[in-house]
């Protein structure tokens, strides 16, 4: 898989239900996507967002985090 075929993995997370109900996750996604597109000049089709809402950072047993790490380990992620 060439670098141009690999995805750019963005991981967003909040730990409380209160944060889920606020603008935190949409804000994180927007800022990360903007950075990738406008600073790193990465095509938005390569960006994949992994989101764990209401999950503590103390534990790495988070569904989206684990999916993202599997892609990293299998060589599917460039950034």
Q: How far apart are CA 18 and CA 42, in angstroms?
A: 32
pLDDT recorded at residue 14? 80
What pLDDT, on a 0 to 100 scale, did the predictor assign at position 79? 93
* Structure letter (DSSP) for residue 77: B
Q: What is the pTM of this model?
A: 0.84
From residue 62, alpha-carbon distances to 3, 4, 41, 58, 72 in Å are 27, 28, 29, 10, 15
* Residue ranges in the chain whose pLDDT is less than 50: none
Quick one: pLDDT at residue 21?
Answer: 57
* Cα angle value 68/71/72 (rounded, 5°): 85
pLDDT at 47: 97
Given a contact cutoff of 8 angstroms between Cβ atoms, the answer to whether 76 and 1 are in contact is yes
């Amino acid at each position: 898989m060439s670098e141009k075929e690999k995805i750019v993995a963005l991981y967003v997370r909040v730990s409380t239900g209160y944060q889920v109900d606020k603008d935190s996750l949409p804000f994180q996604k927007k800022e990360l996507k903007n950075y990738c597109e406008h600073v790193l000049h990465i095509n938005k089709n390569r960006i994949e967002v992994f989101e764990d809402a209401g999950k503590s950072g103390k534990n790495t047993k988070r569904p989206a985090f684990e999916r993202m790490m599997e892609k990293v380990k299998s060589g599917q992620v460039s950034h």
